[in-house]
């Protein structure tokens, strides 16, 4: 099972987004493939952040299209919305990520939204991949350690990998 | 439209690899990605933005360019990339695709974690690529990481 970070959700639902254009081949294959086995999971924090960013573009037609595309992807089972797992654990791990990798660490600056989305993936025992475009997450050794330790602490046997999206 | 000079870079990778590169082959595309990434790291232009993917550094922008340039397996034959760069890349590639993946991931990780010493870097990349333990350990002993 794979979780998507906000940047990919925006690229999936907003055709005018820069990343949609730069990743068009992969996105079209991921959203149009008839052989896809499993839906990409997105969390409410990612949806909230995505629409907040889409709203900043101030184009009414684009905002409506994004909702329409999101609905279509949900109906076709390409993406699925998942709730907060055990919320106490989600916030505990999000706080731990911020403590270790937050704004005061210039080389590993993780935002609160990144922390929440990552923590959601951590507590989802079925999640094995979190797709994000952000190299400050994928290349963040402290974050990788937190994830590995959290998964061990939770008693999960599946490893969670953070990397960029490809299909 | 592809980046100016991309064909020279792609041609240099093909030359270093020494075999036909087919865009339909996953392994050949992987070789192209890692090869261009390593040439960029050596300072060879044009520069692409690479991110960490499941199989190491990858640039979607570069993928667009080689899909365009390698249509019908047309590999550009001409490059002005210096022979020293091509030989260095060829030496890394000669150790095989898993080694190439491990080596390029170490380079990418080093760029984002400049404070790490070779041992820390190796341990970090082993977390990302546990399946390539042997290759990561071997690549981490390269003088470039000391």
Residue B47: cis peptide before it, omega within 30 degrees of 0: no
Q: Which residues of B touch A7 (CB under 8 A)?
A: none
Residue where a domain stops, chosen among A82, A98, A122 = A82
CA distance B78 to A163: 34
CA distance B38 to B12: 11
Q: Which residues of B touch A25 (CB under 8 A)?
A: 60, 63-64, 67
CA distance A101 to A137: 9
- Judged by CB atoms closer than 8 Å, whether chains meet at B54 and A163 is answered as yes
- Judged by CB atoms closer than 8 Å, whether chains meet at B53 and A133 is answered as no
B17 touches chain A (CB under 8 A): no
Any domain includes A165:
no
Of A22, A135, A145, the CB nearest to B52: A135
Q: Tell me the pLDDT of chain B averaged across its residues.
A: 91
Q: Tell me the pLDDT of chain A averaged across its residues.
A: 88
Q: Which residues of A touch B48 (CB under 8 A)?
A: none
- Residue A74 and residue A98 in one domain: no
Of A139, A159, A161, the CB nearest to B112: A139
Of B61, B116, B124, the CB nearest to A144: B124
- For position B76, what pLDDT does the model report? 60
CA distance A111 to A119: 12
Residue where a domain stops, chosen among A82, A109, A129 = A82
B119 touches chain A (CB under 8 A): no
CA distance B64 to B69: 9
User: Residue ranges of the domains in chain B?
Assistant: 1-94, 95-141
Which residues, other chains included, contact A9 with Cβ-Cβ below 8 Å and sequence gap of 6+? Answer: A42, A46, A47, A50, A79
- Asked if pLDDT for residue B119 goes beyond 90, the answer is yes
Question: Which of A30, A131, A135 has the highest number of chain B CBs within 10 A, making it the mutation to test binding with B?
Answer: A135
**Span B3-23, mean pLDDT?**
89
Distances in Å between the alpha carbon of A147 and those of A87, A116, A137, A156? 16, 13, 11, 11
**Span A50-70, mean pLDDT?**
87
Nearest residue to B68 (alpha-carbon basis) of B6, B15, B8: B6
**Tokens describing residue A54:** 């889409």
**By CA distance, what is A136's nearest residue in B?**
B112
- Residues A26/A167, Cβ–Cβ less than 8 Å: yes
Reported confidence tier of residue B97, pLDDT bands at 50, 70, 90: very high
- Asked if pLDDT for residue A69 goes beyond 70, the answer is yes
ipTM for the predicted complex comes to: 0.75
Domain count, chain A: 2
**By CA distance, what is B62's nearest residue in A?**
A22
Reported confidence tier of residue A165, pLDDT bands at 50, 70, 90: confident
CA distance A109 to A46: 18
- Judged by CB atoms closer than 8 Å, whether chains meet at A25 and B63 is answered as yes
**Span B58-66, mean pLDDT?**
88
**Tokens describing residue A132:** 């994000």
- Residue A93 and residue A63 in one domain: no
- Residue A67 and residue A9 in one domain: yes
- Asked if pLDDT for residue B74 goes beyond 70, the answer is no
B113 touches chain A (CB under 8 A): yes
CA distance B54 to B77: 30
CA distance B122 to B91: 21
Of A139, A145, A148, the CB nearest to B108: A139
pLDDT tens-digit series, residues A15-58: 888 778 777 777 888 888 766 668 999 999 899 999 998 888 76
Any domain includes A46:
yes
Residue where a domain stops, chosen among A50, A66, A82 = A82
- Residues B64/A25, Cβ–Cβ less than 8 Å: yes
**Tokens describing residue B117:** 């010493």
Q: What are phi and psi of B28, to 5 degrees?
A: -70, -40
B118 touches chain A (CB under 8 A): no
> Which positions 103-122 of A are in contact with B (Cβ < 8 Å)?
107
Determine the distance in angstroms separating the CA of A93 from the nearest CA of chain B, rounded to an integer.
Answer: 19
CA distance A138 to A101: 12
- For position B23, what pLDDT does the model report? 83
The parent domain of residue A27 ranges over 2-82
A41 touches chain B (CB under 8 A): no
**Tokens describing residue B76:** 């550009």
Any domain includes A20:
yes
pLDDT tens-digit series, residues A117-135: 999 999 999 999 999 988 8
- Residue A28 and residue A61 in one domain: yes
């Amino acid at each position: 099972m794979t979780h998507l970070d906000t940047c990919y959700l925006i690229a999936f639902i907003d055709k005018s987004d820069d990343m949609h254009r730069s990743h068009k081949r992969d996105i079209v294959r991921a959203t149009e493939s008839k052989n896809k086995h499993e839906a990409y999971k997105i969390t409410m924090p990612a949806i909230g952040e995505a629409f907040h960013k889409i709203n900043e573009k101030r184009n009414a037609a684009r905002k409506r299209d994004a909702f329409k595309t999101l609905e279509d992807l949900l109906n076709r089972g390409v993406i699925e919305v998942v709730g907060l797992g055990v919320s106490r654990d989600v916030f505990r791990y999000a706080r731990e990520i911020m403590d270790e990798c937050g704004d005061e660490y210039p080389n590993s600056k993780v935002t609160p939204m990144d922390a929440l989305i990552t923590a959601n993936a951590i507590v989802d025992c079925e999640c094995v991949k979190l797709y994000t475009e952000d190299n400050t997450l994928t290349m963040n050794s402290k974050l990788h350690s937190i994830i590995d330790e959290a998964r061990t602490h939770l008693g999960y046997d599946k490893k969670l990998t953070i990397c960029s999206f490809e299909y | 439209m592809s980046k100016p000079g991309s064909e020279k870079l792609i041609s240099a990778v093909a030359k270093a690899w020494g075999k036909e590169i087919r865009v339909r082959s996953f392994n050949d595309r992987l070789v192209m990605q890692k090869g261009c990434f390593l040439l960029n790291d050596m300072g060879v232009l044009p520069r692409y933005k690479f991110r960490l993917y499941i199989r190491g550094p990858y640039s979607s922008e570069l993928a667009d360019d080689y899909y365009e340039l390698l249509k019908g397996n047309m590999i550009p034959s001409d490059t002005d990339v210096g022979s020293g760069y091509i030989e260095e890349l060829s030496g890394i590639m000669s150790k095989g695709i898993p080694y190439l993946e491990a080596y390029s991931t170490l380079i990418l990780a080093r760029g984002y974690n400049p404070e790490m010493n070779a041992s820390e870097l190796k341990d970090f990349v082993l977390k990302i690529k546990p399946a390539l333990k042997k290759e990561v350990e071997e690549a981490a002993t390269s003088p470039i990481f000391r």
